[in-house]
Structure 1
Amino acid sequence: MDNVSIPDGTLPFCNNSVDPHAHMPGNSSDLNCTLPSDFHFYAGLYVILPIIYSVICAVGLTGNTAVIYVILKAPKMKTVTNMFILNLAIADDLFTLVLPISIAEHLLNYWPFGEVLCKVILSIDHYNIFSSIYFLTVMSVDRYLVVWATVRSKRMPYRTYRAAKIISLCVWILVILIVMPFTVFAGVFNSNDDRKSCVLSFPIPENLWFKTSRIYTLILGFAIPVSTICILYTMMLYKLRNMKLNSNAKALDKAKKKVTIMVFIVLAVCLFCWTPFHLSTIVALTTDLTTTPLVIGISYFITSLSYANSCLNPFLYAFLDDSFRKAFKKMLECRPA
């Protein structure tokens, strides 16, 4: 969600924030900062952003819907890993589905959709921050357990499709609880010029609440899950290295290796897209940036990069997972009656 105010000369970031996800109105003056002289930059931004968001929306909806369809329809695709991929695709699809509303708000330069939809949209916007990394954390835990069981030549009777469903449900409940504070504070704010904006309206002292929300997001949405993932993959690589030295240990079979590599690459792409977003939080908390065209341009680039993650995963599955590619091709076949 972005509050770009080109027509009447207002700026999207007025609290030295480089995070378009964080909507803190502050006071009325915060929403009516003076537009710098470089009007062409903001006019270009006003046109380019909807195009970028529209491409992300179209590609994301098409790709993630295809992933959901294939996993639900193809019997061979019902595996533990694919259950987590299914939920990841649902989360991405949900976000791209509401992206047109963000585009409409950007073009109209005000929020016309009411209080309830504001809470829904801002909540989904924040689901996007937490859901991807949490499902990837669960997938990393699953990969570690698979490697651990293979090294020790043990079976995993508890690793079932039904168990994956239950775990996925638990992840959704956890994410909903984490996002709940943002849902509570989301609302429609009226500025001095009576323009409505969908923002996070924090109580006094607003600046303290704003910083707390940024730290909250940084810790729960990045620091804890990424640290967990790094530890798991470090231990996984250590076990795989020792497995090569131990002639009695069974090597991972080809299929397991491919799945492990796919999960690792999906994770790497997610970190590539989201790390700048969370680094911007550190910058916002530790520095006092002046609102300049360069800062705003970088801010929207970081936001677009995080949004783009929602449409990249289906292409990774298509390139890295033979079973997904074959199942998708089979679904597209026109069979005679």
Structure 2
Amino acid sequence: MEETFTAFMSTTMDYSGDDYWDDDEEPILNSGMCNKTWVRAFRGRYEPPLYWIIFILGAVGNLLVVGIYSTVRNRLKTMTDVYLLNLAIADLLFLCMLPFWAVEATKGWDFGVRFCKMVSAIYKINFFSSMLLLTCISVDRYIAIVQVTKAQNLKKKRLFYSKLACLGVWFLSALLALPEFIFAGVKTDSKGHSTCSLVYWNNENNQTKILVLSLQICMGFCFPLLIMIFCYSVIIRTLLQARSFEKHKALRVIFAVVFVFILSQLPFNTMLIAQATQAANATSMQCDTVIAFDVAQQVSKGLAYTHACLNPFLYVFIGVRFRQDLLRIVKMCAGGLGKGGLNKIPAVHKRPSVMSETETTPALSL
């Protein structure tokens, strides 16, 4: 089972191929029985309030992003617009599952096996699609700023290519989430406490578990991270050779979004690497280490989930265009209510940008 890999992993884990389970589904290590009641109590206190905060903030923020694109901006004009809208939709789908996980943390999983598979897969699709969409944004920025000639030649086709790329991202994310559809299931201990987690079939020597974890780490973090590092390092070098300070200001939103996502996901993926290494070595762990590992998993998992609510607020507080669009919506709504009705928000037909349309800067300055 791959509890750290799922959004709602069980606090009881199979840390070693040689471990055995007592009547309470706790691992009995070489040092004796490991009582993890405190870990379960910690999870019940820690996860529900955090999940509800993320759900509320993330729902408001991402709905604002979708609302801005559907009202003020009226249509998607750049590749980055398409990617950011898809990113907001992916986060909204993920956030819809958080209330169920909050209930599971306190009362156990009572929603059935099929729903367990569905919420597991939705989380994984969101995780992969978010990383891949941020990768697409970095590649788009690389082409727009470094490969200016190519960007101008493909100007009319880039919006079509971006939509095609998004379809590819969703399809690939669904394929990478297949382990959730296949292995996710409900475990019930002798006390009737149920959890939704991955349970591998005939997992000899933890090979299936190691393979799934390796796929998660490589395709969901390392590979996209390498592409983003390459693209942005070249972009930085190009901007340092330019005299326009506005170009640096235009890039700060994308840098902030990528930085926050990496900062939130790095501890989570570090725990996945530790879990994969331990599964490959098939060695037992001391009880104190097991408990510390469990707590670290809970904390890193909660940190990883915050990315679903942070991106919209980065757009609002850092992005010039998003901040202007949000203020426009507020003013129009306030004016409409003051007149006894809600006026239709007119679309902005033209807005000055800090760079030329060839470089598709409006998406950079957001």
Q: Distance in 1 between matches of 2:150 and 2:55?
A: 44
- Aligned mates of 2:176, 2:292 — CA distance in 1: 32
- Alignment CA distance shift 1:190-1:183 (3 Å): same
Query: Given the superposition, is the C-alpha separation of residues 43 and 116 from structure 1 closer, same or farther in structure 2, using an over 3 Å criterion?
Result: closer
Q: Map residues 14-93 of structure 1 onto 2, 5 A cutoff.
A: 14-16=13-15, 32-33=25-26, 42-75=40-73, 78-80=76-78, 81-93=80-92
The one-letter amino acid of 1:269's match is V
Question: Superposed, which structure 2 residues align to 1:94-105 within 5 Å?
Answer: 94-105=93-104
User: How far does residue 270 in structure 1 lie from its aligned partner after superposition?
Assistant: 0.4
Q: 2:26–2:34: 8 Å Cα contact kept in structure 1?
A: no
Structure 2 residue runs without a partner (length 5+): 1-6, 28-32, 342-366
Most deviating of 36-45 and 305-314: 36-45
Counterpart in the other structure of 2:4: none
> Do the aligned partners of 1:70 and 1:77 also contact (CA within 8 Å) in 2?
no
Seen in structure 2, the aligned counterparts of structure 1 residues 29 and 121 have a Cα distance that, compared at 3 Å, is farther
The amino acid that maps onto 1:321 is G
Say whether the 8 Å CA contact 2:180–2:198 is kept in structure 1: yes
Secondary structure of 2:97's match? helix
SS in 1 for 2:236: helix
1:144 corresponds to 2:142 = yes
Deviates more, 1:135-144 or 1:162-171: 162-171
Verify the 8 A CA contact 2:39 2:294 in the aligned structure 1: no
Alpha-carbon distance between aligned partners in 2 of 1:182 and 1:38, rounded to the nearest angstrom: 26
Structure 2 partner of 1:247: none
Alignment correspondent of 2:255: 264
Residues 122-133 of structure 1 mapped to structure 2, 5 A cutoff: 122-133=120-131
| Bigger mean CA offset, 165-174 vs 76-85 | 76-85
Q: Are 2:222 and 1:223 aligned?
A: yes
What is the CA–CA distance in structure 2 between the aligned matches of 1:113 and 1:143, rounded to whole Å?
43
In 2: Cα distance, 1:167 partner to 1:252 partner: 31
Q: CA deviation at 1:38?
A: 8.0
Counterpart of 1:202 in 2: which secondary structure? Answer: coil
Q: How many residues align structurally?
A: 314
Q: Report if aligned partners of 1:13, 1:291 keep a CA contact under 8 Å in 2.
A: no
1:280 to 271, 276, 286: 271
Q: Give TM-score, length-normalised by structure 1.
A: 0.83
Q: Please, which moves more after superposition, 80-89 or 307-316?
A: 80-89
Question: Structure 2 vs 1, CA of residues 41 and 211 (structure 1 numbering), >3 Å: closer, same or farther?
Answer: closer
Aligned 1:123-202 pairs, distance under 5 A? 123-150=121-148, 154=152, 156-158=154-156, 160-192=158-190, 195-202=193-200
**Larger mean Cα displacement after TM superposition, 125-134 or 280-289:** 280-289
Structure 2 vs 1, CA of residues 40 and 105 (structure 1 numbering), >3 Å: closer, same or farther? closer
Q: CA deviation at 1:267?
A: 0.3
* Matched letter for residue 25 of structure 2: N
Name the residue aligned to 1:21.
none
Report % sequence identity.
Answer: 26
Maintained 8 Å contact 1:77/1:324: no
Give the 3 Å change call, closer, same or farther, for CA 267–40 of structure 1 in structure 2: same
- Superposed CA deviations along residues 97-138 of structure 1, whole A, max 9, x for unmatched, are 1110111111112x2112221111010121232121111000
Is residue 2:232 matched to residue 1:233? yes
Which of 87, 103, 118 matches 2:116? 118
- Measured after TM superposition, the shift of residue 326 of structure 1 is 1.4
Return 281-290 or 221-230, whichever deviates more.
281-290
Q: CA deviation at 1:311?
A: 0.6
| Inter-partner Cα distance in structure 2 for 1:323 and 1:214 | 39
Q: Could you tell me how far 1:196 is from its partner in structure 2?
A: 3.8
Q: CA RMSD in A?
A: 2.9
Change (3 A) 1:90 1:62: same
Amino acid at match of 1:275: L
Q: Which residue of 1 aligns with 2:359?
A: none
User: Aligned equivalents of 1:136 and 1:182: distance in 2?
Assistant: 23
Q: Deviations over 1:139-193 (max 9, x none)?
A: 0000101112448895542454343222212211111111123212222344455
Query: Mind listing any 5+ residue stretches in structure 1 that lack a counterpart?
Result: 5-11, 18-23, 245-250
Deviation at 1:36, TM superposition (A): 5.4
Preserved CA contact (<8 Å) 1:144 1:233: yes
SS at match of 1:198: strand
Quote the Cα distance in structure 1 between the aligned partners of 2:24 and 2:174. 29
| In structure 2, distance between residues paired with 1:113 and 1:91 | 22
Q: Against the structure 1 CA distance between its residues 281 and 41, is the aligned structure 2 distance closer, same or farther, given a 3 Å change threshold? A: closer
Q: C-alpha distance in 2, partners of 1:13/1:305?
A: 20
SS at match of 1:199: strand
Q: 2:276 is matched by which residue type in structure 1?
A: L
> 1:167/1:88 Cα in 2 relative to 1: closer, same or farther (>3 Å)?
same
Cα displacement (A) at 1:257:
4.2
In 1: Cα distance, 2:138 partner to 2:227 partner = 9
The answer as to whether partners of 1:16 and 1:290 remain within 8 angstroms in 2 is: no
Residues 15 and 30 of structure 1 are in contact (CA less than 8 Å); yes or no, is this contact kept in structure 2? no
Q: Distance in 2 between matches of 1:77 and 1:325?
A: 18
